[in-house]
Structure 1
Amino acid sequence: MSAEVEVTSAPQDVVRPETTSVGPRSRAAALAAGIAVCAAGAAIAIGFGRLFPAVNPMLIAIAFGALVANLIPVPAWIGPGVDFSTKRLLRLGIAVLGLQLVFHDILALGWGVIALVVVIVAAGITGTMYLGRVLGLSWTQRVLISCGFSICGAAAVAAADGVVDAKRKEVITSIALVVVFGTLMIPGIPLLVGVLGMDDLQSGILAGGSIHEVAQVVAAGGMIGGGALAVATVVKLARVLMLAPVMAYLGVVRRRRSRETGVHEDTVGRQPPLVPVFVIGFLAAVAVRSSGLLPDVVLEHAALVQSALLTTAMFGLGLGVRVGLLRSIGLRPFVLAAASTLWVVLITLVGVLVLS
């Protein structure tokens, strides 16, 4: 997997606190208020998600956050809490996501399917990065779109942002594209497998290997049939597991660029970590889940915590969306998203035919 390296140092367009000095108590209040606002928005999004199970609550949260931001003035003083939600809580949620994965389930797919998953992610990212460069998009925008479309949708976009520190506009754009094109694939993949006459195993691999979001995979797999749904879910979780090596690779790239240019050094001159801490936490969570030591009740509560953390972060991201921001996206990200979707489907389809 290759990805050419360009790093820009444009400032983040996020919700910021007022620049006046604040004492510890007032900052603590701002932190608590911002987190509370994001948590309340997440609770509403999760409630809507229960009514519409085919739609990931994270996607509902970011849309709801954008709606709130454009209808209600968001006070700048809660900025510290919003920033905490979109960064710290987000990374914690990614780490807890590892508790959904079991190494045994992935290995049960067989080495042929596992190799295909690696090819889907590696070739998907490489091809998307190359086309994005041809289209003239920034390196960070290409990274977000390629990871989101090749790995696991919004969670991968958020994880990549945690490593490369992209602009808020780029994060919002990438997640919005995941919603649009992933939703189109829910009826599209079942239609394709029907035309091609695929069996449950083949159609499950195609759905799990090409559709962006886990919830979207479940919806499409359910339309195809029960046997396909089981295969599709495990294949998709195998793609989720690829978050760890890809984020570690991006961490190495960013560290090298920081050493060469100093663009991404923080205010005290420290290098970014070789492997982000949340990636280590993600792998540790996978290991703990795979050990079989955790009872089902703990795993059920962990799933709720993970959903709450990521949904809270997504609502915070949505608060940074403005109508003018969406108008300025332009056509090129949509072109890249469409091409990346078709590219990942093609890679998966060829892999299914090779394995058959």
Structure 2
Amino acid sequence: MATDTQTDTAAAQQLFQSFDAMEGLPFPAPATAVATPTQRRPLPGETLVRAVWPGFLVAATIALASTWLSTHYTAPVMLFALLFGMAFHFLHEEGRCIAGIEFSSKAILRLGVALLGARITAAQILGLGVMPIATVIVGVTSTIGLGWLASKAFGQSRSFGVLSGGAVGICGASAALAVASVLPRNADSERDTILTVVTVTALSTLAMILYPLFATAIGLDHVRAGIFLGGTIHDVAQVVGAGYTISPQTGDIATYVKLLRVTMLLPVVFTVAFIASRAAGAGAAAGPKPPVPMFLLGFAALVALNSFGLLAKPATDAANEVSRWCLVTAIAALGMKTSFKALVAVGWRPVALMVLETLWIGGLVLAAVLLFH
């Protein structure tokens, strides 16, 4: 099972290697250290801390510098963190910082998003109406359908169309890995999954930079901008970064709408698994069930507590401050993970398909925001 210290590409490779091992193919087991009587038994969590602290320290330092610059020059802290992180991309290519960068962009991000629930109430969510929910459902399902229909025109398999549509429509790399785990396997399965992870991450990073500028240029207010950003950008991290670049209100709404898209992961994966199993025959083995995102449950729990007035103001203030630092640190790590060189190497056809899917969901959500809100 993938961990928060692995790269997304390594997680995709491990996914297919684990399938090979289950099929009885030779796959070497990882070497384990043999404890000697003189060795000290590590404390709980000590191994993880030793692995992640160099990369986490770099990300936290970039977050601190970005916050200082944002305060003194009145510019978006998320944009500073992203650009500074991209300048240190070489640290993610090899060396001791990789595990900490991955940990910061995943585990620290999820903690920050979960703590955002302490600043949102059910009244604020209900005030948005049913339009965001309907937009999310239509956007996700139609994007996957578009990928399936258009895949042949771009020289790709139907499976790649579903895989890329799910990644674009739901939550980026996480959705790509979940959908890949239940799709029928072929000789190109691993390549397609890795390609989708790399491309959707790069496109989402571009959207994080460009979409706030676009939303401001066409005059969207904070509410409509939040719905647009949360309903279109692929990964949770970039949605948070883009939303809070405009305003705290936009960031809150964008996060809520994005988490609605994340909840679509379970029904989509189960539906794809059911269809794939039926297509392969009644005896086909079902793929592994994706786990329920715990940060989503944490977010919902804090929203419920805050809605009933069970969180004191000092607690909400502390949660908001910790969340802010977590999110800026995660965006800095995300910048260090961004490699446009890797995107250029994959060829134009699959990238063009994912760009089409991105434009589709972007246009659909924008139309819904302008016409129905």
TM-score relative to the length of structure 2: 0.63
SS at structure 2 position matched to 1:76: coil
Report the secondary structure of 2:290's partner residue.
Answer: coil
Structure 2: give runs of 5+ residues left out of the alignment: 1-10, 16-29, 36-41, 181-192, 231-238, 278-283
Structure 2 residue 304 is the aligned partner of structure 1 residue 287: yes
- How far is 1:284 from its partner? 1.0
Same amino acid, percent of matched pairs? 22
SS where residue 130 of structure 1 aligns? helix
Give the superposition deviation at 1:344. 1.0
Is 2:107 the counterpart of 1:84? no
Whether the aligned pair in 1 keeps the contact of 2:92 and 2:101 (CA below 8 Å) is no
Give the direction of change, closer, same or farther, for the CA distance of 1:44–1:258 in structure 2 (3 Å limit).
farther
Q: How many residues align?
A: 299
Structure 2 partner of 1:43: 64
In structure 2, distance between residues paired with 1:122 and 1:55 = 31
**Alignment correspondent of 1:93:** 112
Q: Which of 145, 162, 165 matches 1:142?
A: 165
**Cα distance, 1:215–1:255 mapped onto 2, change above 3 Å:** same
Task: Identify the match of residue 207 of structure 2 among 152, 166, 178.
Answer: 178
Cα deviation for residue 69 of structure 1 reads: 1.6
User: Equivalent residue for 2:371?
Assistant: 350
Alignment partners' CA distance in 1, 2:161 and 2:71: 36
Q: Could you tell me how far apart the structure 1 residues matched to 2:313 and 2:77 are? A: 23
* Alpha-carbon separation, structure 1, partners of 2:276 and 2:55: 31
Is the 1:172–1:317 Cα contact (8 Å) retained in structure 2? no
Structure 2 partner of 1:169:
198
User: What is the alpha-carbon distance in structure 2 between the residues aligned to residue 258 and residue 86 of structure 1?
Assistant: 32
Could you list the per-position Cα deviations for residues 277-319 of structure 1 after superposition, in whole angstroms to 9, with x for gaps in the alignment? 2222221121122122223332222122223223333333333
What root-mean-square deviation, in Å, do the aligned CA atoms of Structure 1 and Structure 2 show? Answer: 4.1
Deviations 1:83-141 (CA, angstroms, capped at 9, x unpaired): 3323322322232222232001222x2xxx52111111111222222333325555444
Deviations 1:164-208 (A, max 9, x none): 687451452242232244134233331xx7xxxxxxxxx666434
Q: How does 1:3-42 map to 2 (within 5 A)?
A: 10-11=12-13, 28-42=49-63
Q: Deviations over 1:11-59 (max 9, x none)?
A: 279xxxxx987796776423322322232233334444446766461x5
> CA-to-partner distance for each residue in 1:205-228, whole Å, 9 max, x for gaps?
6434324446756777x8xxxxxx
Residue 64 (1) aligns with residue 93 (2): no
Alpha-carbon shift at residue 68 of structure 1 (Å)? 0.6
What CA distance in whole angstroms lies between the structure 2 residues aligned with 1:312 and 1:254? Answer: 35
CA distance in 1, matches of 2:163, 2:74: 31
- State the alpha-carbon separation in 2 of the partners of residues 77 and 233 from structure 1: 33
Equivalent residue number for residue 118 of structure 1: 133
Q: Deviations over 1:259-292 (max 9, x none)?
A: 96566x5xxxxx532x222222221121122122
Matching of residue 299 in structure 1 with residue 316 in structure 2: yes
In the TM superposition, residue 162 of structure 1 has moved relative to its aligned partner by 8.5
Letter in 2 for 1:96: L
Contact 1:101–1:237 (8 Å) recurs in 2: no
Q: How far apart in 1 are the matches of 2:263 and 2:339?
A: 34
TM-score, normalization: structure 1? 0.66
- CA deviation after TM superposition for structure 1 residue 334, in Å: 3.1
Whole-angstrom CA distance in 2 between matches of 1:210 and 1:34: 33
Q: Distance in 2 between matches of 1:27 and 1:206?
A: 41
The match for 1:127 is: 142
Q: Where do residues 185-204 of structure 1 align in structure 2 (5 Å cutoff)?
A: 185-190=214-219
In structure 1, how many angstroms separate the alpha carbons of the residues matched to 2:172 and 2:319?
21
Residues 157 and 240 from structure 1, CA distance in 2 versus in 1: closer, same or farther, beyond 3 angstroms? same
The change in CA–CA distance for 1:124 and 1:293 in structure 2 (over 3 A counts) is: same
C-alpha distance in 2 between matches for 1:129 and 1:86: 26
How far apart, in 1, do the equivalents of 2:115 and 2:269 lie? 19
- Contact 1:129/1:143 (8 A) holds in 2: yes
